[in-house]
C-alpha cells in the first residue's frame, strides 16, 4: 500500500558535471526497479541539469532545502516554486545538519514544509535524536516534540505530500546504523503520532524513511520492518553502484 522511497542525499558533494555523470550511470542500473520511488538530491546548482538527464526515467529529483516565502528580498534563499521550476518533485526539509549548523528549528521546518506542500512538492521532513538524547532516554520525547512542531497545522490532505525521515543523529555518517528493532520502534511511534495529529488512515498511508548509514548490506533488514517504508541515504548514495543496490532492496 505504501510505495517505498529510496532517496539519495548528496549533501555538499558533486559538481554539475559529476552529478550529471552519476545519474547517467545510475539510470540503466535502476531502470528495472519497480514499485519503488527513486530520488536523488543534488546541490541547488546541479538541479536543473540533472533534471534534464533524468527526464523519462524512473529517477526523481529532490532539493536539499528551501525557503518558505515565494519571492522577495531574501538574499540567498530559494523558494519551493523555483525548485519545481528546476524540475524537483521533492524537497528535504529539516535535515539534522541544517538543524545543527544552520539554526533550523521545528518552527522553520514547519513553515518550509507548508510552503513546499503549497508549491506542489513532496516534503521529506527529517527528525532524529542525538546520541546524548538517546543515552538519557529522551528519544521518544525528542521525536514527539520534533514531529508535532514540524508538522503542526497540516490538514489530512497535506499529509499526502509529506514523507517523514527518521534519522538518528548518531547514525548519520558514522557507520553505526540503528538496529532493525531500534528503527522499527521509533517508526511505529512516529506513525502513532501522525494518527494523533491527523487520523489513522493518514498514519497508515504516510511513508516513514529510515536514514543513518544505510548501505546495500543492511537495507534489506531495515526494509523488512513493518513501519519502515524506505531510506534516506547519504554516503552510500554518492556512487551509482551502491545506490542502485540499495534501490534494488526488494529484488
Ligand atoms: P549517511 O547519511 O547515510 O551518510 O549516514 C544519511 C543522511 O544524512 O541523510
Which residue is listed with cell 504516510? 206
Q: Is the pLDDT of residue 28 over 90?
A: yes
Query: pLDDT digit string (tens) for 136-167?
Result: 999 999 999 999 999 999 999 999 999 999 99
What ligand 1 atom has the least distance to the C-alpha of 213? 5
The DSSP 8-state label assigned to residue 121 in this structure reads P
Query: pLDDT digit string (tens) for 216-246?
Result: 999 999 999 999 999 999 999 999 999 999 9
At residue 182, the pLDDT reads 96
Q: Is the pLDDT of residue 1 over 90?
A: no
- Please state, in angstroms and rounded to a whole number, the distance separating the CA atoms of residues 192 and 19: 38
Q: Indicate if 185 belongs to the active site.
A: no
What ligand 1 atom has the least distance to the C-alpha of 212? 5
- List Cβ neighbours of 160 (8 Å cut-off, separation of 6 or more): 205
Instruction: Please give the average per-residue pLDDT across 157-184, as a whole number.
Output: 95
At residue 251, the pLDDT reads 86
Helix or strand holding residue 162 (H, E)? strand 162-166
> Chain-wide mean pLDDT for the chain?
97
Contact 118, 81 (CB under 8 A): no
- In the reported structure, the alpha carbon of residue 171 is separated from the centroid of ligand 1 by a whole-number distance in angstroms of 8
Q: Is the pLDDT of residue 132 over 90?
A: yes
Given 37, 95, 129, 133, the catalytic residue: 95
Instruction: Please give the average per-residue pLDDT across 13-29, as a whole number.
Output: 98
- In the reported structure, the alpha carbon of residue 141 is separated from the centroid of ligand 1 by a whole-number distance in angstroms of 23
What ligand 1 atom has the least distance to the C-alpha of 214? 3
C-alpha cell read off for 146: 520534533
Nearest CA to ligand 1 atom 7: 234
3-state helix, strand, coil in the chain (%, to 5): 45, 15, 40
C-alpha cell read off for 243: 545506490
Instruction: Please give the average per-residue pLDDT across 174-180, as a whole number.
Output: 91
- In the reported structure, the alpha carbon of residue 199 is separated from the centroid of ligand 1 by a whole-number distance in angstroms of 30
At residue 24, the pLDDT reads 98
C-alpha cell read off for 174: 558514522
C-alpha cell read off for 24: 547517467
- In the reported structure, the alpha carbon of residue 72 is separated from the centroid of ligand 1 by a whole-number distance in angstroms of 32
Q: Is the pLDDT of residue 176 over 90?
A: no
Nearest CA to ligand 1 atom 6: 234
Instruction: Please give the average per-residue pLDDT across 19-33, as a whole number.
Output: 98
Q: In the structure, which protein residues have their CB atom closer than 6 angstroms to any atom of ligand 1? A: 9, 167, 172-173, 211-214, 232-236
At residue 175, the pLDDT reads 87
Contact 41, 234 (CB under 8 A): no
- Please state, in angstroms and rounded to a whole number, the distance separating the CA atoms of residues 56 and 58: 7
Query: pLDDT digit string (tens) for 83-101?
Result: 999 999 999 999 999 999 9
Given 37, 97, 167, 187, the catalytic residue: 167
Amino acid at each position: 500500500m505504501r510505495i517505498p522511497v529510496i532517496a539519495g542525499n548528496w549533501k555538499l558533494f558533486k559538481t554539475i558535471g559529476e552529478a550529471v555523470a552519476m545519474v547517467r550511470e545510475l539510470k540503466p542500473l535502476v531502470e528495472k526497479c519497480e514499485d519503488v520511488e527513486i530520488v536523488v538530491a543534488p546541490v541547488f546548482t546541479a538541479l536543473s541539469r540533472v533534471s534534464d538527464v533524468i527526464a523519462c526515467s524512473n529517477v526523481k529529483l529532490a532539493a536539499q532545502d528551501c525557503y518558505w516565502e515565494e519571492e522577495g528580498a531574501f538574499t540567498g534563499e530559494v523558494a519551493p516554486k523555483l525548485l519545481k521550476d528546476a524540475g524537483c518533485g521533492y524537497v528535504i526539509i529539516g535535515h539534522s545538519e541544517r538543524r545543527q549548523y544552520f539554526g533550523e528549528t521545528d518552527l522553520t521546518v514547519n513553515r518550509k514544509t507548508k510552503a513546499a506542500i503549497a508549491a506542489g512538492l513532496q516534503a521529506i521532513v527529517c527528525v532524529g535524536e542525538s546520541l546524548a538524547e538517546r543515552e538519557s532516554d529522551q528519544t521518544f520525547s525528542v521525536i514527539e516534540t520534533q514531529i508535532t512542531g514540524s508538522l503542526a497545522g497540516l490538514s489530512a490532505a497535506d499529509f499526502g505530500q509529506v514523507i517523514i525521515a527518521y534519522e538518528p543523529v548518531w547514525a548519520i555518517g558514522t557507520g553505526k546504523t540503528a538496529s532493525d528493532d531500534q528503527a522499527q520502534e521509533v517508526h511505529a511511534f512516529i506513525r502513532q503520532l501522525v494518527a494523533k495529529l491527523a487520523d489513522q488512515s493518514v498514519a497508515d498511508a504516510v511513508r516513514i524513511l529510515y536514514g543513518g548509514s544505510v548501505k546495500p548490506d543492511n537495507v534489506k533488514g531495515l526494509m523488512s520492518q513493518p513501519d519502515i517504508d524506505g531510506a534516506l541515504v547519504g554516503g552510500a548514495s554518492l556512487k551509482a553502484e551502491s545506490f542502485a543496490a540499495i534501490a534494488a532492496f526488494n529484488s
